[in-house]
Amino acid sequence: MDSNESLLPLQIALMTVSDTRTEADDKSGKILVNNLQTTGHILVEKVIVPDNIYQIRAVISRWIADESIQVILTTGGTGVTGRDGTPEAIKPLLDKEITGFGEIFRMISYQEIKTSTIQSRTLAGVANGTYIFCLPGSSGACQTGWNIIKDQLDSRNRPCNLAQLIPRLTET
């Protein structure tokens, strides 16, 4: 980190994907909101969307088209059971996938939950200059994911970071 620089706060939208969660019991969403705000970023919008591919896609598409949003975080819907469909909803919207995120997430997660990490279908990519990170719904997995993401969203992180590559920030 370059301690002489100030953090360039990013505008982040957050989606919890769940058929059962409400604002009152959305623990993972609260963890991510707290983490991003504590770090110095700005929460632009937070929604809870049912685990429905088309409803997820509709909100994510709106956020991708919104030039004020630089990062999208999702939590939930990345498992292998039932209606889990976040990766299927978002992957077709991506211009590029960032495969290293899932690889690192599962490597770190293996230390915490052993082979159960193979059930995690975390995903990251970029669409229209907006970075998208899809995290599992468990609070522990959200914290693990944030611990990976936070340095890449910090414009002071060296040798490089995703924040410095956001076209909407570097074109001005």
Max intra-chain CA distance, the chain: 49
pLDDT, one tens digit per residue, over 73-123 is 999 999 998 889 999 999 999 999 999 999 999 999 999 999 998 999 999
- Decide which of 65 and 167 is more confident: 65
Q: Provide the number of structural domains found in the chain.
A: 1
Tell me the backbone φ, ψ of residue 164, rounded to 5 degrees.
Answer: -70, -10
In terms of residue numbers, what domain contains 75? Answer: 11-170
Closest CA to 12 of 49, 37, 38: 37
Domain assignment of residue 143, yes or no: yes
In a domain? residue 46: yes
**Digit-coded pLDDT (tens) for 114-123:** 999 899 999 9
CATH code at 25?
3.40.980.10
Residue 5 lies in a domain: no
The average pLDDT across 24-39 equals 98
> What pLDDT sits at residue 2?
59
Residue 117 lies in a domain: yes
Give 130's strand partners: 127
Look at residues 47, 49, 45, 46 and name the one whose alpha carbon lies nearest to residue 18.
Answer: 49
- pLDDT (mean) for 149-169: 90
In the predicted model, is pLDDT for residue 170 greater than 60? no
Say if 131 falls within a structural domain.
yes
| 1 within some domain | no
